[in-house]
Amino acid sequence: MRELFRKIQPYTGKIFAIFLVLFISFLAYSLYQAPVIGIDEKFAYLLRQYGYIILFVWGMLEGEAGLIMAGLLAHTGDMNLYLAIFVAGLGGFAGDQVYFYIGRFNKDSVLKRLRGQRRKFAFAHLLLKKHGWPIIFTQRYMYGMRTIIPISIGITRYDARKFAVINLISAWCWAAITIVPVWYFGEQIMIVLHWAKAHWYLAIPLVIIFGGGIIYYFNKATKKIEKRMMNEN
C-alpha cells in the first residue's frame, strides 16, 4: 500500500482534476434528473440528497459559499451543525494536502508552469521563514495566496506530518468560524435572501459592489504586506 501511494503521489494534481470533473458531471446529471420542478427546487433537492458530499468537495476548493450554504441548512435542520463543520473541515484539509503534495513531488513542473506567480512564491517563502507554522493556520484568509502557500510549503523541506496536523486544525477552525455565525443568524439571512430573490434587479448590483469591495480590500492588503516584507528582505 505504501509503495502504491509513493507511485501515485507525483500525479496528485491530475488525479485531483479528474476527480473534480467527474464530480461536477455527476452533480449536473443529478440536477437534471431531480424529480422536482423548478431550478430552485432542483438545487434544494440536490443539497438534501448529497449535501455532505457537496460540502466536502466545496471545502476542498475552500469556497466560503459552500460553508454559508451548510450554515443555512444547519439552521433549517437539513444538516447537523457539528457534522457539517467536521465534513467541511475535512474537505479544506484534503484540498490543502493535495496542493502540498503537488509542490512536494512536482517541484520543477510547478515552478515552470507558474512562472508568472514567482513573486507570490517568494512572498510565501518569506512568510513561512518569518512567521513559521502560524502562516499555515492563517493562509486560508489570505486572498490570492490560498493555493500558492500550500504548494510553496510543499516545495520546501517542511515536515509533512507537522503540516498535516496544523492544516487539519486550521481547516476545522475555518469551517467553524464560517458556518456557526450563519447558523446562528440564519433567520435574518433567510429574510435577506428572500428579499434579494424578490428584488434581484437591486440585489445583483449590491452583491457586485459589496463582493468587489471585499476582494479589492483583501487584495490590496495582501499586496501591501507583500511589498513591506520584500523591502525588509
Could you read off the pLDDT of 46-104 as tens digits, one per residue? Answer: 777 778 888 888 888 777 778 888 888 888 888 899 999 999 999 999 989 988 888 88
**Helix and strand numbers, DSSP H then E, in the chain:** 12, 0
pLDDT at 156 over 50: yes
Closest C-alpha to 34, from 43, 21, 24: 43
pLDDT at 176 over 90: yes
Q: Please give the pLDDT value at position 93.
A: 93
Q: Please give the pLDDT value at position 186.
A: 80
pLDDT at 142 over 90: no
pLDDT at 232 over 80: no
What is the pLDDT confidence band of residue 173, given thresholds at 50, 70 and 90?
very high
Closest C-alpha to 171, from 183, 181, 163: 163
Higher pLDDT, 184 or 117: 184
Max mean pLDDT range (6-10, 42-46, 74-78, 104-108): 74-78
Q: Please give the pLDDT value at position 165.
A: 93
pLDDT at 5 over 50: no
Encoded amino acid at 180, one letter: V
Mean pLDDT of 15-43: 74
pLDDT at 229 over 60: no
Q: Please give the pLDDT value at position 230.
A: 57
Residue 199, all three cell numbers = 428584488
Contact 32, 61 (CB under 8 A): no
Coil/strand/helix, residue 37 = coil
pTM: 0.73
Residue 168, all three cell numbers = 487539519
Mean pLDDT of 136-147: 77
Residue 212, all three cell numbers = 468587489
